[in-house]
Chains A and B, each alone.
Chain A
Amino acid sequence: GDSVTQMEGPVTLSEEAFLTINCTYTATGYPSLFWYVQYPGEGLQLLLKATKADDKGSNKGFEATYRKETTSFHLEKGSVQVSDSAVYFCALSEGGNNRLAFGKGNQVVVIP
């Protein structure tokens, strides 16, 4: 079935550094792609989304581009802040029923 793979392990970086979190997907059709963020002690929140190939989702300085040729949706931010410390989940929609398949998530820790 449809699935999402995120890079292994936590990410630790200094404030103002460049952040990249890799996400690749496997799907039989043309899914919508999402990044959700989970701050400590909270539920997941939608960060950005893209619904078709070459779309770029963006929010709060984060960007991700739907790349059909490489089946990827990598998350990037040019200059991270301590407040960006959270767990980031890549996800895709399965069909038209709003059901999401999530990756395992990446813990991001930004050090002052």
Chain B
Amino acid sequence: DAGVIQSPRHEVTEMGQEVTLRCKPISGHNSLFWYRQTMMRGLELLIYFNNNVPIDDSGMPEDRFSAKMPNASFSTLKIQPSEPRDSAVYFCASSSRGANVLTFGAGSRLTVL
């Protein structure tokens, strides 16, 4: 298995632009998580899905952030419009129900100028 696949690995954009981050979870995993990592706040859970359905999005910072999971093998995290304070590493992780272990992707490093 190739693991959790995230793209792009690095993104540099200007304030106000739309950013879309992508994630392919491990085949057979039915839970998917989006985390954000910054020096100041550490790892923050933004949103998670079970069986493609969003369960808890209370960690999403504001309406500029949205996430979708149209099928079991793909999820997106969108920021529109982006701001410099959104600069961070965004991680996607997946797990199978009952396994209690998350497998993380390599992350997408976002820089908003």
Contacts and interface: CB of A to CB of B under 8 A. Distances in A.
A93 B100 contact: yes
The DSSP consensus for interface residues of chain B is strand
Nearest to A31: B100
Contacts of A88: none
A98 B31 contact: yes
A43 B91 contact: yes
B56 interface: yes
Interface string B51-64: 00001100000000
A46 B43 CA distance: 15
B107 to A, nearest CB: 5
Contacts of B42: 102-105
A96 B42 CA distance: 23
Nearest to B4: A43
Contacts, number: 52
Contacts of A101: 45
A77 interface: no
A51 interface: yes
A36 B99 CA distance: 15
A44 B104 CA distance: 6
Nearest to B55: A97
A112 B113 CA distance: 38
Interface in A68-110: 89, 93, 96-105
Interface string B17-31: 000000000000001
B1 to A, nearest CB: 14
B75 interface: no
14 contacts: A43-B104, A44-B91, A44-B93, A44-B102, A44-B104, A45-B104, A46-B103, A49-B100, A51-B100, A93-B100, A98-B97, A98-B101, A98-B102, A100-B102
Given A51-B100, A103-B42, 13 more contacts: A36-B104, A43-B106, A46-B101, A46-B102, A49-B101, A98-B99, A99-B33, A99-B48, A100-B45, A101-B45, A102-B42, A104-B42, A105-B43
Interface of B: 4, 31, 33, 42-43, 45, 48, 50, 55-56, 91, 93, 95, 97-107
